[in-house]
Chains A and B, each alone.
Chain A
Amino acid sequence: KQEVTQIPAALSVPEGENLVLNCSFTDSAIYNLQWFRQDPGKGLTSLLLIQSSQREQTSGRLNASLDKSSGRSTLYIAASQPGDSATYLCAVRRGGSNYKLTFGKGTLLTVNP
């Protein structure tokens, strides 16, 4: 059974700091990994999608890496801003015939002005 863990559960940083969020998964037989952002009371917004054959993806100030063999992914946020404050979730989609997403419980990020 796939398990996804996100560390830390919460993180508070001053504005302008670069930061890294971690995601680990137990079963490396994944199809892809996706990072999402969730604002309070809202749905999920997709940030980056990394296919199992890729090592990293970048979008603006965000960079996500994937090391399938070690079961790890990181989300790097450069020059953090108060508007980045949200819960960040990673999810893995397994291969084979079952395509469901398994989510971590998220990292609550607070960026202080």
Chain B
Amino acid sequence: KAGVTQTPRYLIKTRGQQVTLSCSPISGHRSVSWYQQTPGQGLQFLFEYFSETQRNKGNFPGRFSGRQFSNSRSEMNVSTLELGDSALYLCASSPGLGTGNTIYFGEGSWLTVV
């Protein structure tokens, strides 16, 4: 069974640009969540999607957005990039929303903003 797949793995963007990251969950998983990881702040929750609807959102500005498609694949978008957006963005999937099941993470997308 394939794991959580994130693309691209590495990317470099310039301040002011926008970026879209993609996540394909484990087959059969319907919940996808996104996290930002930085050395200073650690892992912080961005948002969670289930059945194409955003169910929870973390404390990030509106420049951070996401969506989920009918096949459970998800994308997140960051507009007007700032230097502080440089981070590892991790996607995770689980079978359902708020279940007691294990959550599985992808390898992440490394974003560098210059």
Contacts and interface: CB of A to CB of B under 8 A. Distances in A.
Interface residues of B, number: 26
Interface in A30-69: 31-32, 34, 36, 41-46, 49, 51
Contact of A31 (B35, B43, B45, B100): B100
Given A34-B103, A43-B107, A89-B43, A98 B90 contact: no
A41 B35 CA distance: 15
Given A98-B56, A99-B48, A42 B107 contact: yes
A101 interface: yes
Contacts, number: 54
Chain A interface category by residue count: 20 to 34
Contacts of B56: 98-100
A102 interface: yes
Most chain B CB within a 10 A radius of its CB, from A42, A43, A49, A104: A43
Contact of A46 (B42, B48, B104): B104
B102 A49 contact: yes
Nearest to A53: B100
Contacts of A34: 102-103
Interface of B is mostly: strand
Nearest to A102: B45
Contacts of B43: 89, 91, 103
B78 interface: no
Interface of B: 4, 6, 33, 35, 42-45, 48, 55-56, 58, 90, 92, 97-98, 100-108, 110
Q: Which 5 A-B pairs have the closest CB atoms?
A: A103-B43, A99-B98, A44-B105, A105-B42, A43-B105
Given A49-B100, A106-B42, 11 more contacts: A34-B103, A36-B105, A43-B6, A43-B105, A46-B102, A99-B97, A99-B98, A100-B56, A103-B35, A103-B43, A104-B42
Interface of A: 31-32, 34, 36, 41-46, 49, 51, 89, 91, 93, 98-106
